[in-house]
Chains A and B, each alone.
Chain A
């Protein structure tokens, strides 16, 4: 696998992207950039426009308006040199059921001047034991791994992964995550959509959340929706000798009993914690049960999209 320089040069630039299906506007003025070597995840509920956006970037769909560049190419121009430098894992795509895993990977390797080693790629996706098996005999998860192998065999600079681990068992997902993380180390740029928020949390350098065709939030997974600071919950109990005291930086939600927990939802956890811990230190006291918790990515995602109960799929 070739090492590639990561950096601030964008591998993907999307500006004011629009996509209409008849009267329906599926993507409405979406703009974002993905730097080389970065793993960028697109999240959004069904029909948010994620797959339309990704398929436009892959060159599979025509855009209605806006500007798109991938490695400097307009994907819609169908340039062969563009397709030599990208790899695509489709949400669903056909394979020749009567060929073996090895034959499929070798066939796709033949499309590129500088393919990766077929055996090594098969092993990397965990299909070494199945390399002589016909495609029709593969389980759903194994077929998905073959998808990944076919996308990787051309040693792409940019990899599009549309829900790449759907159907994987937990072990296979972890292995796929390790492989994708390995791609990041080699400088491969990855644009990912996923059903799994823990996958995004684990893999993505940055996340864009789409809803109703708009990019409504963009951040790192840890800071999405301000979750690195906002909505932080601080809780503690007072030691016996300080009971009856009034902790600083309040107001705190008071405990029901003398040994109960004080809690606070705050957007300024640093300031509150500093005041609280200084106060405790000044009294030479430990604060039992002191915890600082942040909302999960799922909590923030559901709040942003305003569609609690709807998963991160896509209908297009």
Chain B
């Protein structure tokens, strides 16, 4: 925890406060304006969606499979282009970014996937190092940052294992480490706990929450409604491509510590208190 606090930009303390009054004054980190995405086959994945996500917010995108959550995530990475409407990240219109600049956009967005998407022929260390090598980080920096971040996610003993030698939860931790190692201002997670058991899921959620506490905006897409309801963060619910609910987080304490968060979550989900290795 201390390591993370030290390495992130110096605004974590204010993060909680800001998220409470975020979207009104400043430029939202994520903005959808009447976004529609129709796939080539004619199926409508996202239908006239508008939303604003402010800096430092923790937002759940929920809804049943096929409701357009993943499409939203992929639209944000400019992996897909919207058929109609506009998407802006930190005030920058995605439609105006030329293809050759897309990699630079993605370097500012950490992504976590349901199937981890680790590079199978690289060790844990190399997987995380890759996203630093991509941005041209020097060897010294890589040698310093990678062990740090892996210690943070609780994998300091598995540096030289290959992904297929790890459990699902461990692989997801590697993928979070990779997404966060260069401290992007925005973290996207597409069903990060989709393949994991409840106890491991809590560990992963705790980790993501911890990242959010450093001031990083987090968007998590999930169909695990129970978990979402218990976590008491802002929830945007999609159904058949439309927003049917946007609960602006009335209930939760935004400054809740990660440990309190985990204890409360375990209590509410009725899971044992073995705790994760961290």
A and B from one complex: no
**Hey, which bits of chain A sit against chain B, CB under 8 A?**
none
